Amino acid sequence: MKKICLSLIVILAVINTSFGQFQITGKVTDNTGEVIPFASVFIKNTAKGASCNIDGVYKLTLDKGNHTLIYKAIGFKALEKAITVTKDMTVNQTLAPESYTLKDVVIKANAEDPAFEIIRQAIKNRKRYLNEVESYKADVYIKGLQKLVGAPKKFFGRDVQKTLDLDTNRKGIVYLSESQSIFSFKRPDKVKEEMVSSKISGNNNGFSFNKASDMLINFYENLLLEGSGLSSRSFVSPISDNAMFYYKYKLLGTTEESGVIINKIEVIPRRKNDPVFRGTIYIADDTWRIMGTNLYLTEDAGINFVDTLNIGQQFVKLEKVYMPATTKFEFNGKALGFKFEGYFVGIFSNYTFPDFPKNYFTSEILKITKSVNKKDSLYWMNNRPIPLTDEERFDYKKKDSIALRKTTKHYLDSTERESNEFGLGKLFLSGYRYNKRYEKRTISFDPLIRSVFFNTVEGFAAKYGVTYTQRLEDRKFYSIRPEVRYGFSNHIFTGNISGTYYYDPLKRASISGSFGSDIADLNRYGSMTLLSNTINSLLFERNLSKFYRKEFANINTTRELADGLQAAVSIDYAQNRTLQNTSDYKVRNVKDEEYTSNNPFSPTIETPLFPTYQSFSISASLNYTIGQKYITRPDAKIYEESKFPRFNLGYRKGFKGILNSDVDYDLLSFEIYQEHVRMGLVGYSSIVVGAGKFLNNNAVFYPDSKHFRGNNSTIFPSNLRKFRYLDFYQYSTSKQYIEAHFEHNFAGFIVNKIPLLRKLKLEEIVGFNYLTEPGKKNYKEFYFGVERFGFGVSYGYSYNGNYKVDQGFRIAFGF
């Protein structure tokens, strides 16, 4: 038996030696010995290859036998090297700088640079190469790294080095992730991706947010990076149809690679602050196709969040086409005292060009299963095409060890003793949070400073709540919140309890309910925050919000019925009572201002707006998004921003007689809306159009009317559906209505041309709001202004028909 086993071992050893795979490692440097980061190494006549890491180190797995390696890097001569593989090998390589010469080109004074004609030829062939490959399938490896290279000692009183686990110089990696996917693409924009493996430093159970489609950038497109978040508008490709209007070009030289003459062309913006690239682009003679890019976006181009973004692409020849082999995004920037840099690099390999069957592409653009983050270190060592640097290897080792330790009960208990320590200052300013992470439960106490407020109905009052949350597996959770409220002037105490059970994240399904009593705004959408109303009342003698009291019980449920189709049902019972002002306290007496009654229709006299009544109603809605794309993760379903409109159909019925209900009505409503309709270089538009009608209005009391999102304040939270000059309460209806809202953001298209303003990166907005209903026919608002990061200032006018009723400044905030 022993001899048989020994024989088997010998045979297996021979087989492994004869047919096994071997590791080829090495470093790519230039003539001076400096490393060449992210150089590409391909196996000739295949789509298989690897990339060097930032230290110039690469690794390949090859079968035994003869192979030819091709080394390529932007700015260096491509080199072919034949090797014979019989064992694990170290193959270092030196690349010579590419010598781009102008010896065959004569440039006369005042003559056009030859680069312009090359670009014209590239533009002529742009559509040809854009549509050259109808579809493809590839393996994609993505690696992302972000690191701090400078930071303040403290941020909001917290030690930065300790909080972010940095070194003594406050430098270090804050994000490191790798992923592998099988990616399919069909023109113009159909994608399907299945993640094979995922790894995040310091998060052993996490799933990478890497997406192969995020690594796609095609300079044959006219406009690029639309909707990327870098800017509210797009960037013009150096070979777009109208590129000559935005760019100047300079031929830096030509070289020959594998029999192909390649032109190195400098891309120069005609105007400093246009949304354009800088850098170099490489274009082949005769075929006029792009052979590589080394292009930059800077702050001058209007990018947000980073100072500089470098986009580098290298291509590999497959049969008669060239496909991206490596796409690299490198960035750096600074904010609030933090200096950062990083990169995302994608390696595309094993291309095939199938004819995908019908219905192959669906609304699911990325699928991530539970097993993708279970790959061990041996798997990654053998499969990552970019070797880890020493810094990255150390980061994985340290943070993975810490992450494992952080899941233990002993560690969590020890850290929570400090974080759960009670303090009156903490409770007063930010609220107190008691966290038991091992049991996945949290108790949150509201901050006292936000619980005290004033209005003329309750006088000074307090509202306080506590939220208990129990997290379950796969992002499921349930929460319970009791809340009490007391007015020190009207002496009314209310209390209620609410709960939510989020039971199916993949279907966005939940059930919730509440019961008790409360003081509610007469407008079901709300008018303004309690704090805003307090400030307006005490300092400016304007009690804008109006209230009523209700005892209620309700239950709600929502669930996705199909891709992009969400349904919701709510059953509500309430007993509603009017309230009156009980306090006229103010900090200062404002000339020509006086508190109004709690009835918005009789401001000088306290009269009941409606009798005490009971209401039983059922509401249902269907929300559908055309062409909704989504990502499926084991613990969630994440919707992408849609390019198409959304529709909402709603129905609310009040039942008379059930539980002594006094109401009797049927309201049918319909709305179509779309935000961020991309308009290329001139920004984006957002639009909402809604209409509705009470099919039956036999008994409709004011709280059950159709309300609108009005505004009586100079400062208000931004909302596309919000009117800027419409009274909160006056024009609610129990009949029919049509409303429309439109806003266009020019994303700096105009302001960017004004030298003193362009550095502020302001975005111009214009807008229009419209409402017609029996009590307010053809009401219109027009406004214009600027905004930045959700904060905007505008000036506008409002009209009843052709009669101007109001005008003035408005300040909107969305944070």
How do residues 138-190 score in pLDDT, each as one tens digit? 999 999 999 988 888 887 667 777 777 787 788 888 889 999 999 999 999 89
Residue 124 has pLDDT above 90, yes or no: yes
Examine residue 444 and state whether it is found in any structural domain, yes or no: no
Span 54-76, mean pLDDT?
Answer: 87
409-419 helix and 390-406 helix, angle to the nearest 10 degrees: 80
Digit-coded pLDDT (tens) for 585-598: 999 888 888 999 99
Span 238-266, mean pLDDT?
Answer: 91
**Between 157 and 73, residue with greater pLDDT:** 73
Which one of 343-347, 415-419, 785-789 scores highest in mean pLDDT? 343-347
Examine residue 421 and state whether it is found in any structural domain, yes or no: no
Which secondary-structure segment (H or E) carries 533? helix 530-540
pLDDT at 412: 64
**Between 761 and 455, residue with greater pLDDT:** 455
Residue 1 has pLDDT above 70, yes or no: no
What is the reported pTM?
Answer: 0.86
Span 490-496, mean pLDDT?
Answer: 97
Q: Could you give the CA distance from residue 551 to residue 535 in angstroms, rounded to a whole number?
A: 28
- Token pair of 670 as six digits: 């319909």
pLDDT bin (cut points 50, 70, 90) of residue 541 is very high
Q: Is 172 left (phi over 0), alpha (psi -120 to 50) or beta?
A: left
Q: Could you give the CA distance from residue 656 to residue 782 in angstroms, rounded to a whole number?
A: 42
Pair 193, 158: CB distance under 8 Å:
no
Per-residue b/e over 368-392, b at no fewer than 16 CB within 10 Å?
beeebbebeeeeeeeebbbbbbebb
* Beta bridge partner(s), residue 637: 632
Q: How far apart are the first and last CA of the chain?
A: 75
Nearest to 101 by CA among 302, 306, 254: 254
The CATH number of the domain where 55 resides is what?
A: 2.60.40.10
Residue 353 has pLDDT above 60, yes or no: yes
Q: How far is CA 210 from CA 215, 369, 505, in A?
A: 9, 14, 20
pLDDT at 416: 67
Residue 335 has pLDDT above 60, yes or no: yes
463 and 599 in a single domain? The answer is yes
Strand order in the sheet with 79-85: 49-51, 40-43, 65-72, 79-85
Q: Is 110 left (phi over 0), alpha (psi -120 to 50) or beta?
A: left
Q: Is 750 left (phi over 0), alpha (psi -120 to 50) or beta?
A: alpha
Q: Could you give the CA distance from residue 436 to residue 413 in angstroms, rounded to a whole number?
A: 8
Examine residue 586 and state whether it is found in any structural domain, yes or no: yes
What is the tally of structural domains in the chain? Answer: 4
Span 330-336, mean pLDDT?
Answer: 88
pLDDT at 159: 76
Task: Burial-class residue 393 by CB neighbours within 10 Å (0-12, 13-18, 19+).
Answer: exposed
Residue 107 has pLDDT above 80, yes or no: no
pLDDT at 523: 96
**Between 433 and 9, residue with greater pLDDT:** 433
- Token pair of 47 as six digits: 């789509």
142 and 278 in a single domain? The answer is yes
Q: Which sign does the torsion angle of CA 188, 192, 197, 198 carry?
A: positive
Which residue, 34, 61, 94, sits at the end of a domain? 94
Q: Could you give the CA distance from residue 617 to residue 703 in angstroms, rounded to a whole number?
A: 12
658 and 676 in a single domain? The answer is no
Q: In angstroms, how far is CA 97 from the centroid of its own chain?
A: 40
Q: Could you give the CA distance from residue 97 to residue 105 in angstroms, rounded to a whole number?
A: 21
658 and 677 in a single domain? The answer is no
Examine residue 355 and state whether it is found in any structural domain, yes or no: yes
Residue 406 has pLDDT above 70, yes or no: no
Which one of 317-321, 380-384, 516-520 scores highest in mean pLDDT? 516-520
pLDDT at 19: 47
Span 225-248, mean pLDDT?
Answer: 89
390 and 459 in a single domain? The answer is no
pLDDT bin (cut points 50, 70, 90) of residue 223 is very high
Helix H, strand E, coil C: the string for 56-103 is CEEEEEEECEEEEEEEECCCECCEEEEEEECCCEECCEECCECCCECC
135 and 46 in a single domain? The answer is no
323 and 174 in a single domain? The answer is yes
Nearest to 703 by CA among 529, 518, 531, 460: 518
Domain that holds residue 761: 664-815
Which residue, 629, 662, 695, sits at the end of a domain? 662
742 and 788 in a single domain? The answer is yes
pLDDT at 64: 87
Span 784-792, mean pLDDT?
Answer: 89
pLDDT at 204: 67
Examine residue 422 and state whether it is found in any structural domain, yes or no: no
Q: Which sign does the torsion angle of CA 198, 201, 203, 204 carry?
A: positive
Which secondary-structure segment (H or E) carries 392? helix 390-406
45 and 177 in a single domain? The answer is no
Examine residue 427 and state whether it is found in any structural domain, yes or no: no
What letter would DSSP give residue 387? P
Span 365-390, mean pLDDT?
Answer: 88
Lowest mean pLDDT among 17-26, 396-405, 618-627: 17-26
pLDDT at 739: 97
pLDDT at 14: 38
Examine residue 295 and state whether it is found in any structural domain, yes or no: yes
pLDDT at 669: 97
Digit-coded pLDDT (tens) for 300-321: 888 888 899 999 998 888 878 8
634 and 684 in a single domain? The answer is no
658 and 679 in a single domain? The answer is no
Q: Could you give the CA distance from residue 504 to residue 162 in angstroms, rounded to a whole number?
A: 37
Pair 743, 720: CB distance under 8 Å:
yes
798 and 782 in a single domain? The answer is yes
pLDDT at 18: 41
Nearest to 70 by CA among 101, 99, 36, 47: 47
pLDDT at 290: 94
Question: What pairing do the DSSP bridges indicate for beta strands 154-155 and 49-51?
Answer: unpaired
Q: If DSSP codes are grouped into helix, strand and coil, which group holds residue 12?
A: helix
Examine residue 442 and state whether it is found in any structural domain, yes or no: no
